[in-house]
Amino acid sequence: MQESDQPYMERALACARVARDAGEVPVGAVLVDTEGVVLAEAGNSPIATNDPTAHAELRALRAAAERCNNYRLPGTTLYVTLEPCPMCAGALVHARVARIVYGAADPRAGACGSVLNIAQCDALNHRIDVVGGVGAEQSAALLKGFFAERR
C-alpha cells in the first residue's frame, strides 16, 4: 500500500455507502490516472438498472473510457471496496488498468487472488499489479451490515 492510496479508498467507500443507501450491494470504485486525477467513480447499480454488468468497477471503467475517449486506460489505478469478480477483473485486464487496490477480499468470487487470479494470469496479454486489504475493515463492515439488515 502507498500512503496516497487511502484518500482514494475513502472516496470508494463513500460510493459504496451511496449504493447501500439506494438498496444496492455496497461496493464502490474510483479510477485514477497517473497524475492522481479521478477519472470516474461509481457504486453498484445492477438492481436499479436491471443490468447484471452494472458493478461499480464496470460503471467506473465505462465513464472513464468515455471521458478519455479511449477504451484503453493504461497507467490507471482502480480503487474498489471489494475484490473484483471474474467479469470485472477481465474488463480491467482488457482496459489495461495498471493497478487494482481493493478493500475486502471476496472468498466466493474474488478474481484477484482469492478464488481466481485473472488480474495476474500469465496466459493473458496484460497483468495488473494488485494490492488487497486497503480499507478492508470498513469495506467488510459495510457488506456485513448490508446483508445482516436483509436477513
Distance CA 102, CA 75 (A): 17
- Per-residue pLDDT tens over the stretch 7-25: 999 999 999 999 999 999 9
Sorting pLDDT into bands at 50, 70 and 90, what band is 47? very high
Residues involved in catalysis:
57
Sorting pLDDT into bands at 50, 70 and 90, what band is 150? confident
Sorting pLDDT into bands at 50, 70 and 90, what band is 4? very high
CA 83 to chain centre: 7
Q: Which long-range contacts (CB under 8 A, 24 or more apart) does 145-151 make?
A: 146/20, 146/25, 146/26
Sorting pLDDT into bands at 50, 70 and 90, what band is 1? low
C-alpha distances out from residue 20 to 15, 85, 150, Å: 9, 19, 11
